[in-house]
Amino acid sequence: MAASGMGRDSGTGTKSGTLNLQANAFDPPEGSLRRSVGRGAIITALAQSVRVATQIVSVIVLSRLLSPQDFGVVAMCAPVLAFIALFQDFGLTQATVQKSEIKHEEVNYLFWVNVAVSALLACVLAGAAPLVAAFYGEPRVSGLVAALGLQIIAYGLGAQHLALLTRRMEFARLAIIDVASAIAGLAVSIAWTFIDRSYWALFAGTLTAAVLPTLCYWANSRWRPSLPRKVNGISELINFGAGITGFNFANFFARNLDNVLIGKYWGEAQLGLYDRAYKLLLFPLSQITNPLSKVMVPALSRLKDEPDRYRSAYLRVMPLILLVALPGVAFAIAMADMLIPFVLGEQWRQSSSIFLALGFAGLLQPLNNPAGWLFISQGRSGDFMRWGIITALTSVLAFLVGLPYGALGVAIAYAVSEYLRTPFLWLYIGKTGPLRASHILRAATPFVLGAHLALAAIWFAKPLLPQQHIVAMASAVALSYMITVMTALAFASGRETLREALRLLPARAPKAAPSEAK
């Protein structure tokens, strides 16, 4: 990790003679990009493996301690919280990270915008709580929705401090904070079940996971806000953030309307089954790609004027994500009928068919989710927003088509929509900028094709697998990765990625920094 180098007075000085020093203090040290990206990718991947493991343990343990109805109540609140949270950040953390040069006055202004908006949104949540409870016909939802305002305030207080740590590529510190927060949140949730075995245990864990990182961001960024004052030229940052918020607003419907519709028309039991299937597969997948944006967005932003290096950086990281994630998804889909009862318990067996359907969307999301890195780092927040609108409209249409058939119908329709959207996404991204759809096709085909072949092979080989569940699943995992790797070896781009993966092994980690960032 690069040394901090941020002056202790960087959050308070206002004299013109200190402005350049403050602006430089918000950036990584000169010449650190190559080292920071290489180490950051490795550190973030390790941290995310711990986070994903924690999430899976959370699903397993809490599913045994709490009932489907408890998860259903929380799932009813989740879309409301996600909708409100769209506006608290207003894309301003990404604006801070992406801007070529930024000063204390600009960061300070954005901090106070984040705080004011978060406080307002917490009040909106409290006022809307009875309406949400009436919508679902579930009175327990009211108190939980109002309490979630505390999370909104906690996130708002730490948004700009997080942005500064990300901009400075302090990836090791961010990784430690993320892992500690995830583990602390799980520990608090489990401990709370001994006090009150209800949905409040889940709330206690999520609140812990919101407050703890904010405290750590303040302690580690060493930047402190001053009194708010007018700043010239701030509109550029606000406009950029508005594009990000527009995407998030549209994407909200693509990610959350399924929960609302299932909860409304099929009740908390069906929603609980759907929510557990989603959380066990698609949520961990998003937790692989989303945190890597902390590494890739600031790195790509600093390479945006060098097309060859920009393209090389992205095309070295994206296939590695596919290599790691897709064989695991293929295994999980093929073994869903055995995996779900084994992991969650027999009472969740009905969730296995939903899990299987959502799994097909999971075969494409590790490819599609990182597209946001490209939009943001290239400053194309308007294009990002427009794609979000397209995604929202097609996803909502899919939800409505599948809704008459219950949670399973929604899951199948959503997976189909993901396959239909994918080629258009990469054609849209490739209309401008260093990357074309042909680049993505060449880099991704070995692993997407390999994962689908692995899925088919495991499915047909299931009767031949050992009777013991653990041995059968371990054999299926090994088979999935073996077939995916063998498929990749048939392509030049696949062989190139496999060589890169070997260079990133721990024993050779010092040599793993991307050469394009020299």
**Which stretch, 45-49, 85-89, 246-250, has highest mean pLDDT?**
246-250
CA-to-CA distance for 307 and 419, rounded, in angstroms?
29
Does the pTM surpass 0.75? The reply is no
DSSP line for 273-321: HHHHHHHHHHHHHHHHHHHHHHHHHHHHHTTTT-HHHHHHHHHHHHHHH
Q: Is 309 contained in some domain? A: no
Average pLDDT over residues 386-403: 93
pLDDT for the residue 297: 84
Among 290, 320, 44, 268, which Cα is nearest to 172's? 44
Q: Is 512 contained in some domain? A: no
CA-to-CA distance for 449 and 457, rounded, in angstroms?
12
228-260 tens-digit pLDDT:
777 776 777 777 787 888 888 887 777 778 988
**Which stretch, 221-235, 247-261, 400-414, 493-507, has highest mean pLDDT?**
400-414
| Strands annotated E in 436-509 | none
pLDDT for the residue 291: 65
pLDDT at 496 over 80: yes
The phi and psi torsions of 433 (rounded to 5 degrees) equal: 90, 180
252-300 tens-digit pLDDT:
777 778 988 898 888 878 888 898 888 787 766 766 676 677 788 888 8
DSSP line for 86-135: HHHHTTHHHHHHH-SS--HHHHHHHHHHHHHHHHHHHHHHHHHHHHHHHH
Rg of the chain on CA atoms, in Å: 23
Average pLDDT over residues 414-437: 94
CA-to-CA distance for 415 and 411, rounded, in angstroms?
6
DSSP line for 61-76: HHHHHS-HHHHHHHHH
Angle at 375 (CA atoms; ends 373, 380), nearest 5 degrees:
150
Q: Is 116 contained in some domain? A: yes
Contact at 8 Å (CB) between 450 and 485?
Answer: yes
Residue length, the chain?
A: 518
pLDDT for the residue 16: 37
Average pLDDT over residues 158-181: 84
Residue 173 lies in domain: 1-30+66-232
Contact at 8 Å (CB) between 320 and 504?
Answer: yes
Q: Is 167 contained in some domain? A: yes
Task: Name the pLDDT band for 29 (thresholds 50, 70, 90).
Answer: low
Task: Name the pLDDT band for 356 (thresholds 50, 70, 90).
Answer: very high
Q: Is 44 contained in some domain? A: no
The mean-pLDDT minimum among 25-39, 136-150, 264-278, 392-406 falls in: 25-39
The mean-pLDDT minimum among 20-24, 179-183, 202-206, 362-366 falls in: 20-24
Q: Is 330 contained in some domain? A: no
| DSSP letter, residue 515 | G
Contact at 8 Å (CB) between 103 and 228?
Answer: no
Q: Is 390 contained in some domain? A: no
The number of CA neighbours under 13 Å toward the Cβ of 402 is: 26
Average pLDDT over residues 464-493: 93
3-state secondary structure of 362: helix
Contact at 8 Å (CB) between 154 and 87?
Answer: no
Cβ-proximal residues to 207 (8 Å cutoff; 6+ apart), any chain: 147, 150, 151, 154
Count of domains forming the chain: 1
Q: Is 184 contained in some domain? A: yes
The phi and psi torsions of 68 (rounded to 5 degrees) equal: -55, -35
| Strands annotated E in 111-238 | none
Angle at 85 (CA atoms; ends 81, 86), nearest 5 degrees:
125
Angle at 39 (CA atoms; ends 38, 41), nearest 5 degrees:
70
CA-to-CA distance for 389 and 24, rounded, in angstroms?
37
